[in-house]
Structure 1
Amino acid sequence: MILAATTNESLAKMSDLLIYSSMAVYTLAFFAHIAEWVLGSRSKVGRTAAALTQQASTPSVTVQVKQGGTTSVLDKPKIVTRSAAGTRDVPDGPGAAGGTVQGDLYGRIAVSLTVLAFAVEAAGVVSRALAVQRAPWGNMYEFSTTFSTVAVGTYLAFLLAKKNVRWIGLPLVTTVLLDLGLATTWLKTPSDQLVPALDSYWLWIHVSTAIFCGAVFYLAAVATALYLFRDSYENKLASGGTPSAFARSVLERLPSAASLDKFSYRVNAAVFPLWTFTIIAGAIWAGDAWGRYWGWDAKEVWSFITWVGYAAYLHARATAGWKGRKAAYIALIAFGCFLFNYYGVNIFVTSKHSYAGVE
């Protein structure tokens, strides 16, 4: 049955105001990140090019081997160490555009503004929950605001753990602004109570894990996409090519392709068991709500397709011949399936999971 609790309109309006306020602060953080990259690009960094040039110019080593009283001279081939992804081992960039004092200063300002925006947005999500007296993810508007909050919170947790992830800041803030822009315009839904099928404690368990998994998958997808660019950049340098000035100014400040690949793999591998639990929890909830655990509903099908995509990626990463770029493409396809499962199924497909609330 539908919850009998009424909506606190005062708290609902406060929630809306906090969400809009967080968008304003995220916008300031966006410009601070832009300033970080622009000012940081004024410094001359060529660590990747220098490392690859040094590897390419390493002379062959002469080895003397005594055989039967004579001496044979062999040329020991040059050894190039490669990462698990098949890319050359080169130094990481600074993690962002902080190649100069000014660039680093603006980077710190951007992170501080992101922390403030996160706190304001989180307060908006909590206010929405208090306004409707339930979990604040009963429709796409609430899911979107909570999703972006969790994504930013996860990014800040990595920073707090001293991980070299400041390079995520600009694409993250940009995506959050797009997400909140869609949420507050196209997906905006008045605060209201749950439809009967959602009136369950499984809403807290199943949907919260889905939101967290999606946020972590997103961070890994950003790393995967940047890995493809950085890998092409390193390969071009290694082959003697000359990348554009723009490519050098941006890609030199990212971690190496090997580091980006390792980050995305570890993050996807860590969250994959939780995504498996999410699907199982959804099946249990379906059994309680509709009397069957699996009915090949569109949301169920695409959740499983997403699971298969990430399972294929993890298998590919552990299989010789499918590391690096090939595996990265699979990871991006899997994340694309997750996005379609959220936007496509909820909006364009009629199913038991059509809770978009979009007119």
Structure 2
Amino acid sequence: MTTDLLARLSDGLVYSTIAVLALALLAHAASTALRSLPTRHPGASSTLSVSAQVSAAGASRAAEAPGATGSTRERDATDTRAGEGPGRVVGASAVSLTVLGTLLLLAGVIVRGLAAGRAPWGNMFEFLLVLSLAAGGAYVALVRRRAVREAGVWIVALMLLALGLAVTSFYTPVDDLVPVLDSYWLVIHVAAAIISGGVFTIGAITAALGILRRRWEARPVTERSQRYVAALPTASSLDRASHAVHVFAFPVWTFAVIAGAIWAENAWGRYWGWDPKETWAFITWVFYAAYLHAQSTAGLRGSRASWFALAGYVAFLFNFFGVNLWISGLHSYAGV
């Protein structure tokens, strides 16, 4: 197959991905809405519902207390029951569509690489594709965890936003690499940044949902009116999911920063020069290091720590969009 034909096939697969993920977003939204509906059982009283909410909030706070004991199954008992209901079938369809969309995007990225004859992440268009793929892959890998599954509507929405920006604002025809990028370090350094960025996306969403859920749990029962937040897993469950993915992604991001420094020495003759992209990569690293430290410090766990994770994700996004588009430097090769 010719390069032009492979490029068109890749573009077709990307557009097919967008169509499938749009259906997945609708299914996720419908599933979320159905789970947020109030459930009533014959013979059940409102007092029982209130008691269940009090028990769930108490279990969440007990799980967060220093020295708390009890199995994960006990702490997440309310989460398991919340997975049942009218949204279950729609939710399964949403997950299936997300898996299909992720596989189509994987095929599109592979074909793009074959068309270019190189690693398919040499400009902002390609990086958006593979970053979306990493986020989708992380979701599929972790979908058995309810805290991640409940975040599906937001994860798919971010994937669609990234792909929409890629094909409308950042589209770049298949071309050769900028000379400075023509190195095996492109595979090592950028691949590590892509993987960590995709997983950071999962961590940021679960951290944000954890903040919302914790605020809901802190309110008096009579003031708890947000049914969407009430249907979420407990704050402690969301915190554990967020912490787990950050524990995985942070060392990968650390490796990406170190690999970038080694590549910089090879390309420019110095390991670190406080170039804007290097600076913001370090700022991102500091925020995530602060998050992990806060999660291990009594008095800072929970929402206080989660804000560091969100700040780290904002810094990560600014490093990609802001630095590439608005700040000139040695890394000004976004391809737009």
TM-score (norm 1): 0.83
Aligned to 2:71: none
- Identity, in percent, stands at 48
Answer yes or no: is the 8 Å Cα contact 1:92–1:254 preserved in 2. no
Q: CA deviation at 1:44?
A: 1.4
1:323 matches 2:301: yes
Distance in 2 separating the partners of 1:298 and 1:267: 27
Aligned to 1:125: 109
1:298 aligned to which of 264, 273, 276: 276
Distance in 1 separating the partners of 2:241 and 2:294: 16
Answer yes or no: is the 8 Å Cα contact 1:41–1:99 preserved in 2. no
Between structures 1 and 2, the one with greater helix share: 2
Q: CA deviation at 1:51?
A: 3.7
1:193 matches 2:176: yes
1:179 matches 2:157: no
Answer yes or no: is the 8 Å Cα contact 1:297–1:352 preserved in 2. yes
Q: 1:84 to 1:302 in 2, by over 3 A?
A: farther
The C-alpha deviation readout for 1:134-190, integer Å capped at 9, x for no partner, is: 00000000000011011101110112xx32221121101111111101010111111
Q: CA deviation at 1:94?
A: 4.7
Distance in 2 separating the partners of 1:95 and 1:210: 37
Distance in 2 separating the partners of 1:56 and 1:122: 40
> Structure 1, unaligned stretches of length 5 or more?
1-6, 58-79
Distance in 2 separating the partners of 1:95 and 1:240: 19
User: Match of 1:349, as an amino acid?
Assistant: I
Q: CA deviation at 1:39?
A: 2.7
Distance in 2 separating the partners of 1:194 and 1:18: 22
The farther-off stretch of 194-203 and 309-318 is: 309-318
Q: 1:56 to 1:285 in 2, by over 3 A?
A: closer
- Tell me the secondary structure at the aligned position of residue 329 of structure 2: coil
- Tell me the secondary structure at the aligned position of residue 81 of structure 1: helix
Aligned-residue RMSD, C-alpha:
2.4
Matches for 1:5-20 after TM superposition, within 5 Å: 8-20=3-15
Q: CA deviation at 1:120?
A: 0.9
1:134 matches 2:118: yes
User: Match of 1:13, as an amino acid?
Assistant: R
Answer yes or no: is the 8 Å Cα contact 1:140–1:356 preserved in 2. yes
User: Match of 1:215, as an amino acid?
Assistant: G
Distance in 1 separating the partners of 2:14 and 2:295: 39
Aligned to 1:64: none
- Tell me the secondary structure at the aligned position of residue 224 of structure 2: coil
Answer yes or no: is the 8 Å Cα contact 1:150–1:211 preserved in 2. yes
Q: CA deviation at 1:27?
A: 0.5
Answer yes or no: is the 8 Å Cα contact 1:28–1:113 preserved in 2. yes
Aligned to 2:192: 209
TM-score (norm 2): 0.89
Q: CA deviation at 1:252?
A: 2.7
Q: 1:12 to 1:93 in 2, by over 3 A?
A: same
Answer yes or no: is the 8 Å Cα contact 2:206–2:241 preserved in 1. yes
User: Match of 1:158, as an amino acid?
Assistant: L
Q: 1:329 to 1:127 in 2, by over 3 A?
A: same
1:103 aligned to which of 87, 107, 116: 87
The C-alpha deviation readout for 1:2-60, integer Å capped at 9, x for no partner, is: xxxxx811101111111011000001111111221233333517998424535999xxx
Q: CA deviation at 1:277?
A: 0.9
User: Match of 1:220, as an amino acid?
Assistant: G
Answer yes or no: is the 8 Å Cα contact 2:76–2:237 preserved in 1. no
Matches for 1:1-359 after TM superposition, within 5 Å: 8-44=3-39, 49-53=50-54, 81-84=62-65, 91-94=77-80, 99-100=84-85, 102-159=86-143, 162-164=144-146, 165-236=148-219, 239-244=220-225, 247-248=226-227, 250-358=228-336
Distance in 2 separating the partners of 1:56 and 1:14: 51
